[in-house]
Amino acid sequence: MKNITVIGSGTMGNGIAHTFAQNGFKVSLVDINDAALQKALQTIAGNLDRQIKKGTIDEAAKAATLQNIKTYTDAIEGAADADLVVEAATENRDIKLRLFKQLSEVCKPGAILASNTSSISITEIASVTKNPANVIGMHFMNPVPVMKLVEIIRGYATTDEVTKTIMDLSVTLGKEPVEVNDYPGFVANRILMPMINEAIYTIFEGVAGVHEIDTVMKLGMAHPMGPLQLADFIGLDVCLAILKVLHNGFGSPKYAPCPLLVNMVTAGHLGVKSSTGFYKYTAGSKELIVADKFR
Ligand SMILES: NC(=O)c1ccc[n+]([C@@H]2O[C@H](COP(=O)([O-])OP(=O)(O)OC[C@H]3O[C@@H](n4cnc5c(N)ncnc54)[C@H](O)[C@@H]3O)[C@@H](O)[C@H]2O)c1
């Protein structure tokens, strides 16, 4: 496996491209938005500089990594030579189904098609392709160059051979892959999202404030950050979308999104990306300040 196509160059796509390129793979990075591609290249260069400062890589490794990445605005052109496609486009079912149908028509026979989706069924994505046996979930964590875990999701039709190839490849990238089956939320989000939702219910019901809830979980459970800060990082819109998948997929009220989360997303308070969620985020400040609404 040599040629990797990464579709989508946002938060996850640039990290996935960086990781493959740094490990010597030829990466075609595709996005429909040229500005997103340019921003991704800048982000990757900035993150490589940070690695140089830390002493984990040198200037030559930075240059080699950047040389391994080519950008495309057309998925058909970008995926023509791919041995593996890792799709990291916007978390939207229709976008992903359209992309996978198109990819299965243009990719080389035998190419593996992977999705980085947080919650959309791999079995459903595979069902629109010519060869569902070659479709798999490769769920990287954010920030990709730093986080060790890759959750490998086997769709209903994914073969043992394809699963082994992707597990082994993840190890080559310096990651620790974990194999799971394809049910709503897989493992990571099936466990994480109910915890975040419960933390939001705990505010909603007036049990405690933002600072208090996050402090209990940080100091009491040794979590590196509290669930509300983590929700702000992930994006409250993303959390809501994943909870809806769990709620619809299992049909159980235990996954019903908290009305406060729904209200915050409707109001456009999405966390870090909109500068306000449970905390306020000001450029350059590392201090965590609870948002006015919750003080
Ligand atoms: N953000 C996270 O913490 C996180 C963690 C794990 C998995 N994920 C998953 O990764 C995927 C990407 O998430 P993100 O946070 O990077 O999103 P993002 O919004 O930062 O980036 C998505 C990119 O996809 C591009 N795009 C949309 N449609 C496209 C198409 N048809 N062809 C090519 N590019 C297209 C957009 O222009 C955008 O640049 C989603 O499936 C998400 O669920 C996200």
The predicted pLDDT at position 286 comes to 84
Mutation probe of ligand 1 site: the residue of 5, 12, 32 with most atoms within 8 A of C-beta: 12
CB atoms near residue 48 (< 10 Å): 22
Q: Is position 223 annotated as part of the catalytic site?
A: no
Distance CA 143, CA 11 (A): 8
Beta-sheet strands, E only, within the chain = 3-7, 26-30, 69-72, 84-87, 112-115, 135-140, 149-154, 176-181, 279-280, 289-290
Give the predicted TM-score (pTM) of the model: 0.93
When pLDDT is cut at 50, 70 and 90, the band that residue 285 belongs to is confident
pLDDT in tens, 233-272: 999 999 999 999 999 999 999 999 999 999 999 999 999 9
Is the predicted pLDDT of residue 284 greater than 90, yes or no?
A: no
Domains recognised in the chain with CATH numbers: 3-181 (3.40.50.720), 188-294 (1.10.1040.50)
Is the predicted pLDDT of residue 283 greater than 90, yes or no?
A: no
Expressed in angstroms and rounded, the spacing between residue 89 Cα and the centre of ligand 1 is: 4
pLDDT in tens, 127-170: 999 999 999 999 999 999 999 999 999 999 999 999 999 999 99
pLDDT in tens, 97-116: 999 999 999 999 999 999 99
Q: What is the CB < 6 Å shell around ligand 1?
A: 7-13, 30-33, 36, 75, 88-91, 95, 99, 116-118, 139, 142, 234
Question: Could you tell me which of 85, 111, 77 has the C-alpha nearest to residue 6?
Answer: 85
Distance CA 179, CA 186 (A): 10
The predicted pLDDT at position 120 comes to 93
